[in-house]
């Protein structure tokens, strides 16, 4: 969409019409395949990568960004549907972040598989000022973390930035039952359970229909009652 609207090769009317057409096609496609993608058992890594190339085609056709693809080995382990879907979304967001924030003209995307993880490398030739704390990168970090993966962002001023991501191919182990803390109230147990699942204060507040300040109050009580020094220790103690 951004590539179409910004393309110097198209006038305003043509860019608008093509952007509307692309958005309509994308919405129809999303409605038709999202549920299927997420529930599918396995997706060949080469096929998943080919779909990523198709997703990024507008950047190549209508933009000034030179996107280079390094395909994964055909013998790589097939990806669970949820991992393949998330990986494509993460790469799309990363490429747009690099293009918008670092004034990159060239981006190189590489996928690999070590048998246990999907390894993603995205490098650009931009200003080299990107970090994991940038607003454009933070949502990507959160999504990778939610998948029990790891992400590293490194930059060299004047030379470019790189985003390296590891996504496990096997789902994380389900958390065990919470220990019984007889001194906790029912509401504190609810808050603790959501904390352990990875929810933030705002998400807990929305789930339990309480205010964020009330969530903070319960978290403070949990820290005191369980004897944890911080939120991370509280979650670790309660797993």
> How far from 227 is each of 150, 156, 178, 233, CA to CA, in Å?
29, 43, 16, 9
Answer whether residue 198 shows pLDDT above 70.
Answer: yes
Domain residue ranges in the chain: 41-166, 184-235
Enumerate the β-bridge partners of residue 107: 67, 124
The predicted-structure confidence for 129-184, as pLDDT tens digits, reads as follows 888 888 888 888 888 888 888 999 998 888 888 999 999 988 655 545 555 566 78
DSSP, residue by residue, 168-191: ESSPPPPPPPPPP-TTS-HHHHHH
The predicted-structure confidence for 16-69, as pLDDT tens digits, reads as follows 777 777 777 676 666 555 545 454 578 889 999 999 998 888 776 766 788 899
Residue 181 has what pLDDT?
61
The predicted-structure confidence for 117-128, as pLDDT tens digits, reads as follows 999 999 998 888
Enumerate the β-bridge partners of residue 163: 122, 153
Handedness of CA 42, 45, 50, 55 (dihedral sign): positive
Answer whether residue 204 shows pLDDT above 50.
Answer: yes
As a whole number of angstroms, the distance between CA 219 and CA 62 comes to 50
Token reading at 53: 């190339």
Closest CA to 172 of 83, 85, 93: 83
Residue 30 has what pLDDT?
66
**pTM of the prediction?**
0.58
Token reading at 228: 């944890």
Assess contact for 141 and 151: CB atoms under 8 A: yes
Token reading at 30: 């999303």
Mean predicted confidence (pLDDT) in 3-22: 76
The arrangement of secondary structure in 184-235, i.e. its CATH architecture, is: Orthogonal Bundle (1.10)
Handedness of CA 53, 78, 118, 23 (dihedral sign): positive
* Cα angle: 33, vertex 37, 40; to 5 degrees: 130
Same topology, domains 41-166 and 184-235? Answer is no
CATH fold, domain 41-166, is Heat Shock Protein 90 (3.30.565)
């Amino acid at each position: 969409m951004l590539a179409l609207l910004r393309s110097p090769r198209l006038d305003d009317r043509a860019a608008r019409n093509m952007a509307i057409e692309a958005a309509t096609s994308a919405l129809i496609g999303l409605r038709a395949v999202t549920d299927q993608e997420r529930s599918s058992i396995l997706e060949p890594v080469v096929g998943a990568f080919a779909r990523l190339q198709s997703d990024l085609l507008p950047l190549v056709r209508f933009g000034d960004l030179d996107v280079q693809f390094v395909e994964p080995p055909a013998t790589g382990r097939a990806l669970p549907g949820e991992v393949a879907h998330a990986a494509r979304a993460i790469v799309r967001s990363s490429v747009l972040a690099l293009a918008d924030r670092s004034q990159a003209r060239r981006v190189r995307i590489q996928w690999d598989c070590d048998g246990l993880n999907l390894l993603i490398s995205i490098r650009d030739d931009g200003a080299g000022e990107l970090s994991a704390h940038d607003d454009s990168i933070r949502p990507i970090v959160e999504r990778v973390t939610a998948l029990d993966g790891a992400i590293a962002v490194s930059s060299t001023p004047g030379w470019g930035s790189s985003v390296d991501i590891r996504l496990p191919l096997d789902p994380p182990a389900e958390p065990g039952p919470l220990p019984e803390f007889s001194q906790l109230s029912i509401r504190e147990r609810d808050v603790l359970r959501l904390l352990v699942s990875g929810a933030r204060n705002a998400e807990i507040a929305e789930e339990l229909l309480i205010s964020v300040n009330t969530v903070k109050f319960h978290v403070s009580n949990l820290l005191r009652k369980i004897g944890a020094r911080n939120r991370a220790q509280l979650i670790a103690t309660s797993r």
